[in-house]
Structure 1
Amino acid sequence: MTAFNGWENFYVIVGSSAGALIGLQFVVVTLIAGRPLGRAEAQAGGTFATPNIVHFGVVLLLSAMVSAPWDAITIVAALWGIVGLGGVVYVVFVSRRMRLQGAYRPVFEDWCFHVLLPLAAYTILAISAFAAQYDAGPALFFVGAAALVLLVIGIHNAWDAVTYQVFVRSRKDG
């Protein structure tokens, strides 16, 4: 019996959701691809849309990693720690891109869902890798929490982007 027993259903649900949401993001981008974009708008689109794919991809990766038949938690904990550290670095880049793009002035909600919450989730993921070496049970709950937070962030951001396209951008164009 490993530390991962009991987590199978959780990660099947979370990983499947992340995979489906990645597919939906591609559908949405395809549907709005025909709209004319200036350089600044294209830059903003990449700034605000790409992190959703990254977060969903990380959730899918975590689900696959934790669902694999590991004999011990050491290697997988190191892997999710690396993912967490990579996520922290990525959030720094996202923050910089948000400041530099000129099509849209981010409000507090944008900073919260594109920088603060992802930074917290990735930091928890990285720290839980160290905690797993001492007590796997709580560490696995933190990994699960980080995965759920990233999933909810991606859902929020995707919805925010779609509503912006429908209610704000379409009025500017029309």
Structure 2
Amino acid sequence: MQEAAVPLLSAWQNFYVIVGSASAALTGLMFVVVTLIVSMEGQGSGEATGAYATPTVVHFCAALLIAAILSAPWPELWNAGLLLGICGLAGVIYIIVIIQRARRQTNYQPVLEDWLWHMIFPFISYAALVFGAVALLNYATLALFVIGAATILFLFIGIHNSWDTVTYVTLARSRPENESQE
């Protein structure tokens, strides 16, 4: 079963080239955005950056790493499944840390949309990655679709959260100082 399933990965090559390239480009843009924010604001908040901006880069990098793992010429699928499972478990643990950071930071009060896009959707993506990695051994076709969906979700989470960060900073800077402190 393992040897017969390995050619399935070749059918996903274009998907992962597109997703991996987009993730790499957007990761680079996040570095530019964070640099511009810090240069405009003087000194950024380490707490807020650790809770919101850094995880966005991590999600883009997760999509890039998944694309790289599934683009490698594995002799058997369990090798890729093992790495994907480790990435998924690390991501689940990371999201728990991010939830603690978001609750601890005082610069921004998250609303429901923030909890969904910054904590819940990423948790679902990492959990789906773990599920897909385990299922890869016996249900390769289904698992590859689950992993593909998780990867796309990472990409869209990153895009949404990047846009959210940029619009928040832009709107916060455009308010008069006495209004923004209310």
TM-score range, shorter chain: over 0.9
Which residue of structure 1 aligns with residue 146 of structure 2? 142
Letter of the 1:26 counterpart: F
Counterpart secondary structure, 1:69: coil
Which residue of structure 1 aligns with residue 124 of structure 2? 120
Which residue of structure 1 aligns with residue 157 of structure 2? 153
Which residue of structure 2 aligns with residue 131 of structure 1? 135
Letter of the 1:118 counterpart: P
Structure 1 contact 19–57 (Cα < 8 Å) conserved = yes
Counterpart secondary structure, 1:3: helix
Which residue of structure 1 aligns with residue 33 of structure 2? 28
Structure 1 contact 2–72 (Cα < 8 Å) conserved = no
1:8-157 equivalence runs, <5 A: 8-36=13-41, 41-157=45-161
Show structure 2 runs of 5+ residues with no match: 1-5
Q: TM-score, normalised on structure 2? A: 0.90
1:6 to 3, 11, 15: 11
**1:46 CA drift (Å):** 2.5
**1:158 CA drift (Å):** 0.3
Letter of the 1:103 counterpart: N
Q: Distance in 2 between matches of 1:171 and 1:44?
A: 19
**1:37 CA drift (Å):** 5.1
Cα deviation, 1:22-52, whole Å, max 9, x if unaligned, reads 110111112222233567x332123110001
Q: TM-score, normalised on structure 1? A: 0.94
Letter of the 2:82 counterpart: A
Q: Distance in 1 between matches of 2:25 and 2:172?
A: 26
Percent of residue pairs bearing the same amino acid type: 46
Structure 2 contact 88–130 (Cα < 8 Å) conserved = yes
Structure 1 contact 2–71 (Cα < 8 Å) conserved = no
**1:172 CA drift (Å):** 4.8
- Moved runs in structure 1, 4+ residues, more than 6 A? none
Letter of the 1:128 counterpart: G
Q: Distance in 2 between matches of 1:115 and 1:36?
A: 26
Q: Distance in 1 between matches of 2:133 and 2:120?
A: 20
Show structure 1 runs of 5+ residues with no match: none
Structure 2 contact 122–157 (Cα < 8 Å) conserved = yes
Q: Distance in 1 between matches of 2:121 and 2:78?
A: 26
Structure 2 contact 50–101 (Cα < 8 Å) conserved = no
